[in-house]
Amino acid sequence: MATQAPSISRYTPLVNVLAAIALSLLIIASNGTSVMDRTRSLVLDGSAYLYVPIQWVKTIFTIEKDYRELQQRHIKAQIELNKSRTILKENQRLRSMLGFKGDREFNVIPANVLSDVGSHTMNSITVDQGSQDGVTLLSGVVDAQAQLVGKVVAIGANTALVQLMSDKNFRVSVREMRSRDVGILSYTLKKGYVIQDVPKNAEVIAGDSVVTSGFSDIFPEHIFVGWVSTISPVVEDYVKSVRVDLAADFNRIEEVFILK
């Protein structure tokens, strides 16, 4: 008996293959019969019952993993928030010790553009808010995206005249956000909108943001003006000029906000 066992075991794979073929032929032959339909239904139902707990367990593990990741993100965000609060408090304390005044508070007066007045004397727009609405001379004006538009130069009872930044006589003190350099932005016929007399060692690059500096009684600081376009070569080994693309689109302004 011991000598015959190995010879029989050699045919085990063949027997399994023949059995599988026979079972497959039986299933094919029985396809469409009521017995096969019931068998198929039982197999499908059984598979569904097995799939539900497996999927439930998988969902539990997935939720737990997502929860842990959210916990980590929450903690990191909370740490960053606490850092920002600490820096803010420290900044306020240091400014108070140095005698700096707090940020100026202001309100805004919404106004609709009635007409634009483009002439050889001044580029301007007329708006439907005036002295009766609280508008005062030399108030700053921004668009709906809080981008600098101009300033009020004349007032009526119910209307006001706004000088646009595109006017050749418009000037505003601005700051380049990355390098923190300050200069006067004005319009020139040859170069467009330019910050003049920028120190030659200023690390200004194309794409930098430009905002109001706050060194003015008209415009609060941090009003967005535009982006640095190009930087001219150094003039007389001392200063250079920085060309700026303005953010406001003066051809599409329908409403503005006057800073009070």
Per-residue pLDDT tens over the stretch 190-243: 778 898 777 777 778 888 889 998 888 788 888 899 999 888 766 555 566 788
Assess whether 124 and 197 both reside in one domain. no
| CATH code for the domain of 233 | 2.40.10.350
Q: Which residues are CB-contacts of 237 (< 8 A; sequence separation ≥ 6)?
A: 200
Question: Which among 117, 136, 164 is the end of a domain?
Answer: 164
Count of domains forming the chain: 2
Residues 154 and 210 in one domain: no
Q: How far apart are CA 255 and CA 157, in angstroms?
A: 19
Task: Choose among 172, 142, 151: nearest CA to 247.
Answer: 142
Assess whether 191 and 132 both reside in one domain.
no
Share of the chain above pLDDT 70, in %: 69
The domain boundary residue, chosen from 123, 139, 164: 164
Examine the fold and report which residue of 129, 164, 199 is the final residue of a domain before the chain moves on.
164
Reading phi first (left if > 0) and then psi (alpha if -120 to 50, else beta), residue 60 is in: alpha
User: Model pTM?
Assistant: 0.58
Tell me: do 142 and 201 sit in the same domain.
Answer: no
Residue 37 located in a structural domain: no
Render pLDDT for 140-171 as a digit per residue (tens, 0 to 9): 999 888 899 999 999 999 999 999 988 888 99
Query: Residue 245's domain spans which residues?
Result: 171-252
- pLDDT tens-digit map of 85-116: 777 777 776 666 655 555 566 688 899 998 87
Does 158 lie in the same domain as 117? yes
